[in-house]
Amino acid sequence: MDTPAKKLSVDPSLEHLRKQAKQLLRAYQRGLAPAKQRVERVFTGKVVKLADAQHVLAVEYGFPSWPKLAAYVQSVTADAAAWRQTKNDNLPKAANDGDMARVRALLDAGDFTQHDLDLALARATHLYLDIAQVLVDHGADVNGEYGGNYGPILLAPCEGTNVKGIRFLLEHGAEAEADPDRSTKYGNHNTPMRMLLGSYMRPGGHARREAIDLLVSYGATRPTEVDDLAFAIFRDDPQELTRLLDADPKRIAKRFVGFDYGNIKLEGATYLHQAVEYQAAGCVDVLCARGYEHGIEINTRANRTAEAIHDRRDFRGGGQTPIFHCVASNGGGNFPMFEHLLEKYGRWIDFSARATIRMYCWRANQEETLENVTPLEMADANFNPDDTNPYWKSRDRELAILRQRDARSTMENAVKRGDEATATQLMNQHPEHVGPHLWAAAVHDARSVPLVTGLLRRGLDPNATADPRSALDLACYHGDAAMIRLLVEAGADTKRLNPLGERPADLLGRFVPLDPEQHRACLAALGADPGRAG
């Protein structure tokens, strides 16, 4: 049986057709089965060159040769360009404006091309489905091309995660699956499912999940580069994610390779980064609860890896923690995830973490590389204070929170390092961030008597806790008699039973071996009469 000819776009591009031929040749040379089948329908038993691949492409589009195809493309594009130069008020614009009266007038006058009819349909499916219906009734092709090698019309509502537009086109016969090997304007986002998963929009799990399930119900398949676990996260399906991790818990530590998704590219990142990027709150909680024993937690960094995005193979970015993926998102669309992380994990998030990232700069309309930036510096780099568009209304709140959290994290890290000068300067500048969370940094991480003394002098209660173990518990954990004495003299409760069922004395020697003299010194310090800090 003969294979039906492919449908050529009503606004074709000879440049894009040449790229398709080169892509076909490369796939054939790699021995990929689909490419071999296409070539062998036309040629057998010969060494295939680029001219042969171009001929195969021409035959697939119903032309006897590549020169015939090229001549046709050049003629129709020249005619379309000349026609459009005379038209300032055309059908796509009227559809985009939601102007039903103008749409009907242009249709009645027949003052349009097939491409304009199809493009108008793509524009109408964004908001105006009544206009979309009129356009379909007048011959708009739901499987037509958007133009400019963007791809099928269905990709347009998928890019905007527009469930109503997707449903309209599918119900009117649009094909849910597309050629996964086609080279299009947006690279690998060349099928409805890939465009939906790769969309810059962050509408939350429900809308995206509904759109994914809708495409699947009409025959779309999961892209080959997206495994079942990543697909569950795209759908924000914590139940399916849990089931998959129960079957193979170690998968949680996987790093993405060849994964061209995310406003901040997820190449080298983890499933937790993906869940934050795509506002899958339920999946974030599953991954945080189960990941720690496999080295995955809220401050896990993405691998620094060479990205092959847009052929820029010399770029070595990465190092970002999950919080980067919900900061400064398109239109503040991921602000709900930002709030979720603050509420549930804010105590542990390091806002002073630095990374080298590539993200889309909306003002410059290009991908921008930001080197060695914190989440705050990344947000500031793409913030326009003169933009009054309410679309960005969450940005002011986001920046205010980041400025506060950045100072808090910087202070806590200085204390952890035992950097007394920097920590003291930051505490003087930001007294509002001096709190119980610093006990663990000073006692457990830095083990610094001067810093603990400084906290006590600032009035920090030695019995206040942000963790199950108090400052005195941690001093006993390390068998630090001088630290124990200092805290007890400041009023630390030597009899306190912590949430783990431990009293301070219970921790002496349990984790850090103590010789008899050290043990006696610690017991003596615990039995000292409490007094005031000096």
Position 64 scores a pLDDT of: 87
Position 116 scores a pLDDT of: 86
In the block, residue with structure tokens 């506060």 = 404
- Dig out the tokens for 50 from the structure: 């680029």
- The whole-angstrom separation of Cα 202 and Cα 511 is 46
Q: For the chain, which residues score pLDDT lower than 70?
A: 1-11, 76-89, 204-205, 305-316, 328-332, 359-367, 382-394, 528-534
Position 189 scores a pLDDT of: 85
Burial of 419 (0-12, 13-18, 19+ CB in 10 A): middle
- Judged by DSSP in three states, 258 sits in coil
Position 122 scores a pLDDT of: 92
What's the number of CA atoms in the CB half-sphere (13 Å) around residue 287?
Answer: 31
Position 81 scores a pLDDT of: 57
- Dig out the tokens for 318 from the structure: 């990465």
Nearest to 505 by CA among 490, 515, 486, 519: 519
183: Cβ contacts below 8 Å, ≥ 6 apart: 16, 19, 20, 23, 149, 190
Give pTM, 2 decimals. Answer: 0.71
Q: Where do the domains of the chain lie, and which CATH numbers do they carry? A: 1-86 (no CATH), 256-308+316-408 (1.25.40.20), 434-526 (1.25.40.20)
Position 1 scores a pLDDT of: 39
Neighbours of 517 (CB within 10 A): 9
Position 309 scores a pLDDT of: 41
Rg (CA), the chain: 31
Position 387 scores a pLDDT of: 62
- Dig out the tokens for 485 from the structure: 């004495």
Contact 374, 406 (CB under 8 A): yes
CA dihedral 369→372→375→377, nearest 10 degrees, is -80
Nearest to 355 by CA among 328, 327, 390, 319: 319
